[in-house]
Amino acid sequence: MLALSAGNAEAVAQQQKLQRAYDIERKARSLPIPTSDREVKQRLREMGHPICLFGEDPGDRRERLRARVVDYCIEKGEPPTFLLRTSGTEDTRLATQKQQDVFYTEGPDALKAARLLIARYSLPRAQRRLDSRRAADRVREERELEDWVNGVGPYEVRESQYADDRCVARGALSPDEELFATAGWSGVCKVWGVPDCAIRTELRGHTDRVNCIKFHPQAAVSL
């Protein structure tokens, strides 16, 4: 009975030790780890570990610091000293350090003056060049439109026809390209021949303007 009681006590002690180690590890994994790579390197140096390993990126380095913190907590029973600093002081120090950091190389005043001189010289000239190009493009487009209307361009007007007493809203070419249908504001739809523009039929039935007209996909082909 005494041997059994001693064995039970030893098992209980072992279980408590494991439970305590598990609790320490769980709490250690939830401890805040610095996100700045420079801070991570500094903390690794404070713990006596290499600040960088071959092929290691900042994310891997941060996870390595977390693993070292867990090992330290399990061994010592408490987190490292740098994690015991007050968050307000640490945040203030990091904010001050961030404000003091310069992420660019400051140039002399002469360089700034030279760049301003170049900008004042080149920008107005670039604006005038763009305005001139836009004006030339507008003139070219107007000439092309005028040539197209007068039949000088690549298109030539072969036939012309008044399709409706009022505005023509929409037109549609038949699948066999032998008929052309128009819909107008008078409410009358008309079907014309291609290319003679002779009227084939009129479709009356709408009491108001017709804004759209289309052929069946197989019209005049298989119907």
Point out which residues pair with 182 in neighbouring strands: 171, 190
Q: In which element (H, E) is residue 133 found?
A: helix 109-149
Asked whether residue 106 is domain-assigned, the answer is no
Looking at residue 34, its pLDDT comes to 80
Asked whether residue 142 is domain-assigned, the answer is no
Asked whether residue 110 is domain-assigned, the answer is no
Domain count for the chain, please give it: 2
Looking at residue 131, its pLDDT comes to 92
Indicate if 13 and 94 belong to the same structural domain. yes
pLDDT of 87 strictly over 50: no
Domain range holding 87? Answer: 2-99
Q: 138: which residues sit within 8 A by CB, 6+ positions away?
A: none
End-to-end alpha-carbon separation of the chain, Å? 105
pLDDT band at residue 7 under the 50/70/90 scheme: low
Among the ranges given (56-70, 82-96, 129-143, 170-184), the one the predictor scored with the smallest mean pLDDT: 82-96
Identity (one letter) of the amino acid at 145? Answer: L
Looking at residue 1, its pLDDT comes to 43
Q: Which of 47, 76, 99 is the last residue of a domain?
A: 99
Asked whether residue 130 is domain-assigned, the answer is no
pLDDT band at residue 221 under the 50/70/90 scheme: low
pTM of the full structure: 0.32
Asked whether residue 105 is domain-assigned, the answer is no
Q: For residues 39 and 37, give the distance between their C-alpha atoms in angstroms, rounded to a whole number.
A: 5
CA distances from 102 to 56, 105, 106 (A): 26, 8, 9
pLDDT of 203 strictly over 60: yes
Looking at residue 88, its pLDDT comes to 45
DSSP state of 84: G
Asked whether residue 190 is domain-assigned, the answer is yes
Indicate if 12 and 92 belong to the same structural domain. yes
Indicate if 91 and 168 belong to the same structural domain. no
Residue-wise pLDDT for 9-68, tens only, equals 777 778 877 777 777 767 666 777 788 888 888 888 888 888 888 888 888 888 888 888
Mean pLDDT across 89-115: 69
Mean pLDDT across 89-112: 66
pLDDT band at residue 133 under the 50/70/90 scheme: very high
CA angle 149, 172, 199 (to 5 degrees): 80
Reading phi first (left if > 0) and then psi (alpha if -120 to 50, else beta), residue 153 is in: beta
Asked whether residue 141 is domain-assigned, the answer is no
Q: Which of 80, 99, 118 is the last residue of a domain?
A: 99
Q: Which of 42, 77, 99 is the last residue of a domain?
A: 99
Asked whether residue 197 is domain-assigned, the answer is yes
pLDDT of 127 strictly over 90: yes
